Structure 1
Amino acid sequence: MSVTTIPTTDSAPLTREAGNRLVEGWTALWNGDVALAGQILAPGFRLHFADDFDGTGSGYTFGQDELAAFISANSHALTGLTFAAEAAPLVDTERGEMACRWSESHAGEDGDVVVKSGIDMFAVADGRISAVWSLTGNRRFAA
């Protein structure tokens, strides 16, 4: 997937269309297209998890390279791992911020499908994602 970013400045704030494209790229990145990291993530990008994951510890954040490695490792560890945006993102065009609800599914150890949900909150600068705060739940949000 090729994602074209739209630079944002004080005179050209983030648009809903650009926000939608960034979330599409973010979802594709999590679905294994790690080459998108350089296109959609700003230099100095940081991902902040609300939950601790193996090897992360409290307060750990990912930069671009760590994120790509984490995504690759998870896609190999979990059979059929897929991510999907659950709805169009909420885009604050004045502040350059977005929020999106998403779901993850993969095959569990017993073969049953495991589904989780989460919410990501994004800061956007110059048309690229500069920071994400991510909260993952152990079950799917009700629609």
Structure 2
Amino acid sequence: MIELKKLDLWNDMWNGALDLADEICSPEFTIYFGRDASTHNGDDITGPTQLKTFVRDFRASMNNDLEFSLVRNFVDPSTDFAVSLWNLRIGQDRVVGGIDVFEFDDADRIRKVYSVTGQRGIAE
């Protein structure tokens, strides 16, 4: 059964607790971002180690002045999928929202993520 805790830890990982990727992600981990792939190399990520490097570099590119906050998780225990809604504060003046769709492996580790960032925050 998919644990909501893994989705909470995913959010914590994006907030800088990078080593959580080793705990929550499958060795076969991949991610697909729904934004222009010419602006990043995220779609090339394979495995937790590359994910940690990507998140570290992304945070550094924003001078670490960002914070992800969870809006809501949706989990159907009868499937291997879950959805997370989140907001991202960038600096003091900008908030955007996003949605992540997760696919899990047999050990309930995150195997694949489809991630889309919007233009405005998600109402909580």
Superposition TM-score, scaled by structure 2 size: 0.87
Identity among equivalent pairs (%) = 27
Largest Rg, 1 or 2: 1
Q: Does 1:46 align with 2:30?
A: yes
Corresponding residue SS for 1:99: strand
User: Which blocks of at least 5 consecutive residues in structure 1 are unaligned?
Assistant: 1-13
Distance 2:11 2:71 in 1: 11
Aligned partner of 1:124: which letter? F
- Kept after mapping to 1: 8 A contact 2:22/2:49: no
Distance 1:55 1:122 in 2: 20
Q: Does 1:62 align with 2:42?
A: no
Aligned partner of 1:43: which letter? P
Match of 1:130 in 2: 111
Distance 2:15 2:104 in 1: 21
Corresponding residue SS for 1:72: helix
TM superposition shift of 1:66: 2.4
TM superposition shift of 1:67: 1.7
TM superposition shift of 1:61: 3.8
User: Would you say how many aligned residue pairs link Structure 1 and Structure 2?
Assistant: 120
Distance 2:8 2:116 in 1: 18
Superposition TM-score, scaled by structure 1 size: 0.76
For the aligned residues, what is the CA RMSD? 1.7
Match of 1:4 in 2: none
Corresponding residue SS for 1:51: coil
Divergent runs of 4+, >3 A: none
Cα deviation digits, residues 13-70 of structure 1 (max 9, x gap): x14xx1x10111100110011111110001101111111252338xx34222222112
Q: Does 1:72 align with 2:56?
A: yes
Cα deviation digits, residues 80-116 of structure 1 (max 9, x gap): 21101102x1112111210010010121xxxx42111
TM superposition shift of 1:141: 2.3
Corresponding residue SS for 2:35: coil
- Identify which of 68, 71, 79 aligns with 1:83: 68
Corresponding residue SS for 1:34: coil
